[in-house]
Structure 1
């Protein structure tokens, strides 16, 4: 018996014509405001949210996110950031990155309340996933960074806590670029290593990555 197809769709560019492939997956995970909907299909089973700082406040503060079709369709909301982890980071960040003074503001309870009020499951990705990911990323010599991207945390979580033998974990919309304090170059190398091991594949590619592990 074949396993599930689990497709993780970031908010970057997706190849033309992949919407039907994404929508045919057994499980589709999108992020925050789900900008991938459209060219990246429409099916949404899980919305993974950045539950601290300004992105969280923006999503919870108005009706647009809560009433969007992707969020309405999702059966689960995942909070990517552990409140305890970010609380522990606050003092050091105040010294090293004073401009990020609101990054550790935790809005997990707001997402939990929204999920409960709308009959969805709410889940917080464990702090251990984030800390293990930091250790794994160190092997790829990242430039100084604050936190891994939400997309990478979800990938690590899926591979450690969600995937079953025989499942096919597929990525789309991961350009590995964006906020300056995510270690995107190391994240690309980390993902390419997982692709090379056959644990992930990028949509539109075979099990072997087209990228060099040192790219």
Structure 2
């Protein structure tokens, strides 16, 4: 019996030729405002959200995110950040990054309420995934960082707790660049190591761009 194709689509560039392959997947995961929709197809089963800080407040604070086509299609929402972990980070961040004073504000309850009100499933990626990912990234000598990107957290979660034998995990729209306090250089090396081990693959490069931005 063949496994599923699980495609994780970041918010970076995806060329026109990738849309059909993405939409043909058994499961498609997108992020936050799902900027990948369009060139990256339309199928959306899970929307993984940054459930703390300004991104969360922006998504929950108005109707545009809640009524977008991708969010309407989704059957599940995953809150990427563990409230317990991010709450524990607050005191140290106030010393090292005082400009991130609202970074750990937790809006998980808002996403839970939205999912419940619309008859969808909601889950929070467990703190164990974050801790394991920090340990794994240490092998790739990351520069000082605040947290891994949401995209990498979801990749780690899929590979550790979700994938089944025979599943094909495919990435598109990951350029490993963006916010300065994500360890993108180490994240790229980590993903390439996973690809070399055969645990995931990038969407055929002939079908997609060079992935200028990550999730």
TM-score by length of 1: 0.95
CA distance, structure 1, for counterparts of residue 30 and residue 133 of structure 2: 20
How far has the Cα of 1:15 moved from its partner? 2.9
| Distance in 2 of aligned mates of 1:168 and 1:178 | 27
Alignment of 1:18-167 (within 5 A): 18-167=18-167
**Distance (whole Å) between structure 2 residues aligned to residue 137 and residue 39 of structure 1:** 31
- Give RMSD over aligned pairs: 1.1
Uncovered stretches (5+) of structure 1, i.e. residues with no partner: 211-215
Question: Which residue is 1:9 aligned to?
Answer: 9
Query: Match of 1:17, SS?
Result: helix
How much does 1:134 deviate? 0.4
TM-score after normalising by structure 2: 0.95
Residue in structure 2 matched with residue 213 of structure 1 by the alignment: none
Deviation at 1:14, TM superposition (A): 1.3
Residue segments in structure 2 that go unaligned for 5+ positions in a row = 211-215
Aligned residues: 207
Q: Could you give the per-residue CA deviations for residues 168-200 of structure 1, whole angstroms, max 9, x where no partner exists?
A: 000000000000000000000000000000000
